[in-house]
Amino acid sequence: MNTFREIILCKYGELILKGANLATFESLLMKDLRARARRFGDFRISHVQSTLYVEPLSDACDLSGLMASLHKLFGIAGITRAAVAEKNMEDILRVACAYLPPLLAGKHSFRVDAKRADKSFPLPSPEIAAQVGGALLSCVPGLRVDLHHPASLIRVEIRENAAYIHADQEKGAGGMPPRSGGKGLLLLSGGIDSPVAGFMMAKRGVEIEALHFESFPYTGERAREKVFTLARELCEYCTRIPVHVISLTHIQEELRAHCEEDYFTLLLRRFMMHLAERCAARYGCRALITGESLGQVASQTMAAIAVTNEIVSLPVLRPCIGLDKEEIIRIARGIGTYDTSVLPYEDCCTIFTPRHPRTRPQLEKVLSEQNKVDFAALADEAFASMYTVSCTPEER
């Protein structure tokens, strides 16, 4: 039976630079933290001095499950489980010797850092660290002190209400709290790049809604479900993502029937951007988000991007624009979307792909090709086909 209480400590990152606006960002962070915590039990959550305290209120609370979830909460730079001690050296040493030995198992060296945020505590930080270090040397055989390259870093924090003892603080997700950066509409395909783009903008505090284009019967149910799965995987970071779905089937058939093949991809992209802007306006999104990487494919050259940008007035955020494919794949693996992205189900962008797409298009020629179809009527018809599926992590 444990002779100590254990809590989770979450440390801020760049939030501490927000000055007079800090309370707004803290409120958003706390709201998302509380929503996550409810899935794992009954917790008391508070914040003091750029630290969040997450305290379980019963033995039934799943501290490990919540810890894993909080690793995916943007706005937290550091996270650790910690034991709580009374603010006197006798109890600090008792808790340290009860709590830390299992965490030091297999470690050959350690260092103790102490932080005395409560300056009324009678001992200075170096003396606190020395006493805790001496106690650990006595209760953990084979351990030695290494001040420069320790295998484990022990921290003792003397704060307002208690002392907190923990080992090897882990890196959090970083970034900005959810919904602190406005709302953006992610053009979510079934590929590798767009989920990474959504993740990167969510890390900057952007609330994500998604738009997916389908081309039934050329794309099937499994391709659609693949996209919903990707959205649910992103929900581990975003909590909830509405996915709006629009059919492009008639548009693609009309482009194939009336326009030069070399311009097919560019014209389709212009339809997509136009429809995305209309969707964004309906749902209050302030920017579009795409997974484009400069030069990766023919539609992602500077000239091609300029042609597709011309049809919208909203900002288009392209967080992957300077990354190569290996860098994007590495992020996709890290956030857990890669294995789903590479499932072999075609999306609408792979249907009727031209053999020799234009890489240096002229806007005048593109507009000439666009005028061969009834752009407004086709766009209205496609927009009327839109339906929405709300994705959450609980559905996985």
78 within 8 A of 172, measured Cβ to Cβ: yes
pLDDT at position 396 is: 45
Cα(213)–Cα(183) distance, integer angstroms: 20
Kindly give the confidence (pLDDT) of every residue in the chain, 396 residues in length, as a single tens digit, with 9 standing for 90 and above.
577 899 999 999 888 888 888 889 999 999 999 999 999 999 999 988 789 999 999 999 999 999 999 999 999 999 999 999 999 999 999 999 999 999 999 999 999 999 999 999 999 999 999 999 999 999 999 999 999 999 999 999 999 889 999 999 999 999 999 999 999 999 999 899 999 999 999 999 999 999 999 998 888 889 999 999 999 999 999 889 999 999 999 999 999 999 999 999 999 999 999 999 999 999 999 999 999 999 888 778 999 999 999 999 999 999 999 999 999 999 999 999 999 999 987 665 566 676 777 778 899 999 999 999 999 999 999 999 999 999 998 644
Give the CATH class of 183-395: alpha beta
SS3 state of residue 158 = strand
187 within 8 A of 162, measured Cβ to Cβ: no
Cα(253)–Cα(21) distance, integer angstroms: 51
| pTM, full prediction | 0.90
Give the CATH class of 5-171: alpha beta
Type of residue found at 385? S
Q: Which residue ranges make up each domain of the chain?
A: 5-171, 183-395
- DSSP for 104-157, please give it: GTT--EEEEEEEESSTTSSS-HHHHHHHHHHHHHHHSTT-EE-SSS-SEEEEEE
Cα(144)–Cα(153) distance, integer angstroms: 12
Beta bridge partners of 111: 153
